[in-house]
Amino acid sequence: METVLVLGATSDIGIAIAKKFASEKYNIQLAARKPELLGPLQSDIQIRYNVECSVYAFDALIFHSHSMFFETLSPKPETTICIFGTMDDEEDAFNNWSLTQRMIDTNYTGAVSILNIAARSYLKNKKGTIIGISSVAGDRGRASKMIYGSSKAAFNAYLAGLRNKCFKDNVHVMTVKPGFVYTRMTENMELPALLTSTPAYLADVVYNGFARKKNVIYIKWFWRYIMLIIKSIPEFQFKKMKL
């Protein structure tokens, strides 16, 4: 049985993805900043799906701990899924450097730090899959998601580069761009039902994309075309819009 590492396992999306892969008979490694929260999810996965499930402490912001973290994983996961990320209020972040830096360091720097390590290990074995959960917000910079969007744009570019770099060595990289998702993060936001997915739906689509070795997937699929339209608006026009 292969093993999947879930980075950011306390988020609603992390939980859903861990359960989905467990239901498909993968052993699961749960990693999060607060591993002490993961006991119930660990027992749930073991009992429901009859797979192995272990828990690790992982902090995206403590970059120098990442190699040691990956070193201690036993067994080495064949698939690494990077889910962690933060989204603060943009206006607060704009006015407070530490918030801006935390968003960039979590969503981009931290992700690059750990995925470089995973990728090196996979390239050496000429086998492995990396999945990055990014966002449609990275497709074009706009005022309402300026910092968050730019961190995800950088992450998208990184994942695309990594895909290109790893392809010839049989290491697959998949970029996942969700639109709106019903999570605790968005519980108090009014979201358009048609454009919004549940974590369970997202996890199904991620698993199917993984099984079919997709490169870039949008969730839901029509976000690809929505973003295509948004990307095609000329900048002189775009800059005047309220987005």
Partner 1 sequence: MKKQIANWGNYPAMEADEESFVFEEQLDALVDKDVSFITRGNGRCYGDASLSERTISTLKFDKILSFDTENGVFECQSGITLDQVLNVIVPKGWFLPVTPGTKFITIGGALASDVHGKNHHVDGSISNHVVEFDLVLASKEQLTCSKENHPDLFEATLGGMGLTGVISRVKLRLKKIETAFIRQKQIKAANLQELIGLFEEYKDYTYSVAWIDCLKKGEHFGRSILMLGEHAKLDEIPPDQRPDALKLPAKKQITFPINMPSWVLNSLTVKSFNFLYYAKNFKKEINNIVSYEPFFYPLDAILHWNRLYGKSGFVQYQFVLPLSEKKGLIEILNRIADEGLGSFLAVLKVFGNQESMISFPKEGYTLALDFPVRKGLLEFLDELDEFVLKYDGRLYMSKDARMKPALLEAGYPGLKQFKSIIKKYNPGNKIRSVQSDRLLLTADS
Q: Which positions touch partner 1 (CB under 8 A)?
A: 10, 12, 15, 37, 40-41, 43-44, 47-48, 184, 187-190
Identify the bridge partners of residue 56 per DSSP, sorted by sequence position: 31
At its nearest, how many Å lie between partner 1 and the CB of residue 1? 19
Contact 82, 114 (CB under 8 A): yes
* CA separation for the pair 8, 84 (Å, rounded): 4
At its nearest, how many Å lie between partner 1 and the CB of residue 147? 24
- According to DSSP, residue 222 is labeled T
Whichever of 14 and 128 has its CB closer to partner 1, that residue is 14
At its nearest, how many Å lie between partner 1 and the CB of residue 122? 31
Structure tokens at 58: 């992982």
Whichever of 47 and 194 has its CB closer to partner 1, that residue is 47
Handedness of CA 17, 23, 26, 32 (dihedral sign): positive
Whichever of 168 and 184 has its CB closer to partner 1, that residue is 184
Whichever of 41 and 51 has its CB closer to partner 1, that residue is 41
Whichever of 38 and 104 has its CB closer to partner 1, that residue is 38
At its nearest, how many Å lie between partner 1 and the CB of residue 35? 12
Structure tokens at 184: 């605790």
Identify the bridge partners of residue 219 per DSSP, sorted by sequence position: 178
DSSP states of 43-94: HHHHHHH---EEEEE--TT-GGGHHHHHHH-SS--SEEEE-------HHHHH
* CA separation for the pair 165, 163 (Å, rounded): 5
At its nearest, how many Å lie between partner 1 and the CB of residue 49? 9
